[in-house]
């Protein structure tokens, strides 16, 4: 058994198709440069045609965004800068075309790889992909054609390029396992959108797997079993059936409403950390983004705070990507366990109780104003809601909102287009704010309950400490009462309440939250359809009765029993 990373969920059992790319041993040779230039140009034309062909095969299988990878490849293959440099080297050094191609390609790859920017790092992979094809065409090496696979297989490879992945025929390719790669590598992203199970980063697989071996790909747990016993095969056949049946059944709910048996509708949204995560939310039937944790934008930046324009681009991408569906963006929540490489935090005994989130932003208004401006500028691209993290007092909320209004007015006076419908709300994750929700609700447009922090502060139990993790008790009646006070306080003022902490996607908590009147549940994309299925099986009225009883319980054990009985 080999361990890896589950990049695209599912289970497959099939024979190994080991993808061996041709090994090109390229050496410098002295040649007639005119003949080599001609050879190079012919190979370039074939390469362009090959990419066109791969793109044509992928059309209909991949999203517009993924197909754009091939346009990028075509652009590269048509780039006069690339071909010009190669031809120049052939002429200047009277060398062979494949050597010149490799030399120029390696220069470009190391230039892109050394750049401190994910976008350019990904371009290095594109140069590798295109120039490998080019070199094969020059020397007449055949790149394995994955489209010719005509029996059920699991592909095993060192890594898969975007063009490899696009060629996969879902009928015969039941999954793939690669030796390299992570959850966000190109091939992993493609596997998720093609919905092919994949395990990546499976070290040793190329050495251990042989062509035709039987293989179990467990892309739920992130592992691969080579040459399994008949018992293991039986066990995994049953698992695969159950997985498939559940997934199929859930798919029909992608565009369904999240509505209870007695007609009460709630909203199921996704939590995201980067613009790339939008796709997963939409693919899983997310009705909006309920929490965009913008701090990742700051944490990914290595030398300084991200500029207003960099932030604007990210916020715009998310708003546009969601196509008019609601997007709740949380302003910078840094501090606690989240540090920045370019910013020195004060030494504190209890960083989670210290200088973090809105506290830091109200102190360093320069940082905060930049983010607000970027958000307000992006507001015209979709339905933007902004919320402030870690609000403890009404005064903090007022100060933050005043800064927002100031920046908005400035942008308007500068002639910048801004939306008139930006909602400004807050996270309820400090018990003081929950208890006083009715007062906050007079001024905030909405609440989103952050139970990860609300529970840590209510129970006085550090969320990072293993020793006290038993105190993370979403179903504790004390937490349920705080949630109720928050929801009731908002509803009294006609405001909506969401929840973006882990509790919202918890199978036992969701029925109680429904009963308490929560309007929006925001969770990781992969939990959305499962939660929708549950909501659609429940009666709001019955959950209200159950939630009332839960509020009167003494501990989580009683609440858990109550919920389980109500689900029977």
**Residues labelled catalytic:** 186, 500
The residue among 429 and 506 lying less far from Mg ion, judged by its C-beta, is 429
125 binds, among ligand PEP, Mg ion, none (CB under 5 to 8 A by kind): none
* Subset of residues 318 to 337 that bind ligand PEP, contact rule: CB under 6 A: 333
The distance of closest approach from Cβ of residue 120 to ligand PEP in the complex, given in angstroms and rounded to an integer, is 29
Site of interaction with Mg ion (CB under 5 A)? 429, 450, 453
3 state DSSP class of 539: coil
Strands 520-523 and 267-272, by their bridges, are parallel
**Neighbouring C-beta atoms of residue 555, cutoff 10 Å:** 12
3 state DSSP class of 423: strand
Q: Which of 452, 473, 478, 539 binds ligand PEP (CB under 6 A)?
A: 452
The distance of closest approach from Cβ of residue 429 to Mg ion in the complex, given in angstroms and rounded to an integer, is 5
The residue among 175 and 425 lying less far from Mg ion, judged by its C-beta, is 425
* Subset of residues 374 to 413 that bind ligand PEP, contact rule: CB under 6 A: none
293 binds, among ligand PEP, Mg ion, none (CB under 5 to 8 A by kind): ligand PEP
- Please report which helix (H) or strand (E) contains residue 153, including its range: strand 153-157
- Residues belonging to the binding site are 293, 330, 429, 452-453, 463
Tell me how far apart the alpha carbons of residues 339 and 361 are, in angstroms, rounded to a whole number: 14
The residue among 159 and 429 lying less far from Mg ion, judged by its C-beta, is 429
- Residues belonging to the binding site for Mg(2+) are 429, 453
Tell me how far apart the alpha carbons of residues 441 and 426 are, in angstroms, rounded to a whole number: 10
C-alpha closest to that of 293 among 314, 313, 307, 308: 314
Which span sits near ligand PEP by CB under 6 A: 13-21, 209-217, 447-455, 556-564?
A: 447-455
- Please report which helix (H) or strand (E) contains residue 499, including its range: strand 496-499
Q: Which of 201, 321, 501, 505 binds ligand PEP (CB under 6 A)?
A: 501
286 binds, among Mg ion, ligand PEP, none (CB under 5 to 8 A by kind): none
- State the number of binding residues for ligand PEP (CB under 6 A): 10
Tell me how far apart the alpha carbons of residues 308 and 77 are, in angstroms, rounded to a whole number: 34
Q: Which of 267, 429, 462, 506 binds ligand PEP (CB under 6 A)?
A: 429
The distance of closest approach from Cβ of residue 14 to ligand PEP in the complex, given in angstroms and rounded to an integer, is 39
Beta bridge partners of 2: 224
Strands 214-218 and 11-18, by their bridges, are antiparallel
The residue among 280 and 336 lying less far from ligand PEP, judged by its C-beta, is 336
> DSSP secondary-structure letter at 287?
S
**Neighbouring C-beta atoms of residue 299, cutoff 10 Å:** 16
C-alpha closest to that of 334 among 307, 375, 285, 371: 371
Q: How far is CA 135 from the centre of its chain?
A: 34
Q: Is 453 in the site for ligand PEP (CB under 6 A)?
A: yes
C-alpha closest to that of 379 among 308, 456, 324: 324
Q: Which of 161, 451, 458, 486 binds ligand PEP (CB under 6 A)?
A: 451
451 binds, among Mg ion, ligand PEP, none (CB under 5 to 8 A by kind): ligand PEP
The residue among 15 and 463 lying less far from Mg ion, judged by its C-beta, is 463
The distance of closest approach from Cβ of residue 518 to ligand PEP in the complex, given in angstroms and rounded to an integer, is 14
* Subset of residues 481 to 500 that bind ligand PEP, contact rule: CB under 6 A: 500
Q: Is 293 in the site for ligand PEP (CB under 6 A)?
A: yes
The distance of closest approach from Cβ of residue 240 to ligand PEP in the complex, given in angstroms and rounded to an integer, is 34
Strands 2-3 and 223-226, by their bridges, are antiparallel
Q: Is 520 in the site for ligand PEP (CB under 6 A)?
A: no
| Alpha-helical segments (H) within 423-508 | 431-435, 437-440, 451-459, 477-492
Tell me how far apart the alpha carbons of residues 433 and 439 are, in angstroms, rounded to a whole number: 9
500 binds, among ligand PEP, Mg ion, none (CB under 5 to 8 A by kind): ligand PEP
Q: Tally the C-alpha atoms within 13 A of residue 340's C-alpha that lie toward its C-beta.
A: 25
Tell me how far apart the alpha carbons of residues 202 and 22 are, in angstroms, rounded to a whole number: 21
The residue among 108 and 272 lying less far from ligand PEP, judged by its C-beta, is 272
Q: Which residues bind ligand PEP (CB under 6 A)?
A: 291, 293, 333, 429, 450-453, 500-501
């Amino acid at each position: 058994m080999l361990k890896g990373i589950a990049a695209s969920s599912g289970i497959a059992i099939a024979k190994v198709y080991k993808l061996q790319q041709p090994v090109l041993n390229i050496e410098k040779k002295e040649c007639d440069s005119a003949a080599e230039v001609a050879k190079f140009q012919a190979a370039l034309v074939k390469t362009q045609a090959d990419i066109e062909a791969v793109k044509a095969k992928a059309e209909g299988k991949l999203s517009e965004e993924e197909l754009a990878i091939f346009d990028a490849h075509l652009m590269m293959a048509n780039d006069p800068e690339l071909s010009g440099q190669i031809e120049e080297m052939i002429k200047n050094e009277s060398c062979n075309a494949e050597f010149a191609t490799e030399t120029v390609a390696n220069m470009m790859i190391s230039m892109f790889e050394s750049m401190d920017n994910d976008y350019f790092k990904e371009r290095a992979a594109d140069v590798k992909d295109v120039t490998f094809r080019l070199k094969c065409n020059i020397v007449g090496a055949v790149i394995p054609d994955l489209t010719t696979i005509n029996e059920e297989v699991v592909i095993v490879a060192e890594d898969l390029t975007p063009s490899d992945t696009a060629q996969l025929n879902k009928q015969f390719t039941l999954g793939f396992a690669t030796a390299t790669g992570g959850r966000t590598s190109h091939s992993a992203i493609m596997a998720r959108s093609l919905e092919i199970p994949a395990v990546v980063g499976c070290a040793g697989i190329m050495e251990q797997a042989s062509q035709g071996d039987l293989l179990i790909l467990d892309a739920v747990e992130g592992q691969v079993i080579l040459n399994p016993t008949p018992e293991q095969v039986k066990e995994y056949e049953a698992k695969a059936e159950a997985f498939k049946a559940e997934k199929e059944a859930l798919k029909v709910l992608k565009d369904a409403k999240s509505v209870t048996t007695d007609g009460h509708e709630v909203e199921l949204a996704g939590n995201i950390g980067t613009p790339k995560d939008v796709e997963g939310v939409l693919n899983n039937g997310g009705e909006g983004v309920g929490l965009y944790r913008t701090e990742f934008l700051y944490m990914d930046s290595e030398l300084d705070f991200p500029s207003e324009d960099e932030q604007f681009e990210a916020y715009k991408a998310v708003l546009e990507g969601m196509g008019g569906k609601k997007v709740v963006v949380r302003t910078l929540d840094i501090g606690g366990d989240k540090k920045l490489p370019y910013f020195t935090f004060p030494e504190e005994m209890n960083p989670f109780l210290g200088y973090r989130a809105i506290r830091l932003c109200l102190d360093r208004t320069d940082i905060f104003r930049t983010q607000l401006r970027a958000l307000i500028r992006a507001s015209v691209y979709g339905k933007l809601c902004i919320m402030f993290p870690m609000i403890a007092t009404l005064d903090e909320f007022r100060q933050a909102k005043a800064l927002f209004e100031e920046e908005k007015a400035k942008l308007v006076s500068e002639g910048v287009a801004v939306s008139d419908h930006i909602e400004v709300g807050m996270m309820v994750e400090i018990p003081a704010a929950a208890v006083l929700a009715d007062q906050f609700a007079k001024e905030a447009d909405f609440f989103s309950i952050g139970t990860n922090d609300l529970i840590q502060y209510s129970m006085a139990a550090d969320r990072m400490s293993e020793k006290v993790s038993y105190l993370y008790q979403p179903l504790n009646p004390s937490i349920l009462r705080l949630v109720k006070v928050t929801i009731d306080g908002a509803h009294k003022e006609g405001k909506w309440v969401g929840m973006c902490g882990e509790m919202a996607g918890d199978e036992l908590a969701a029925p109680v939250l429904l009963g308490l009147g929560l309007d929006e549940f925001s969770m990781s994309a992969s939990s959305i359809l499962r939660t929708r299925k549950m909501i659609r099986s429940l009666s709001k009225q019955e959950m209200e009765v159950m939630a009332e009883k839960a509020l009167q319980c003494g501990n989580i054990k009683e609440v858990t029993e109550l919920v389980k009985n109500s689900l029977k």
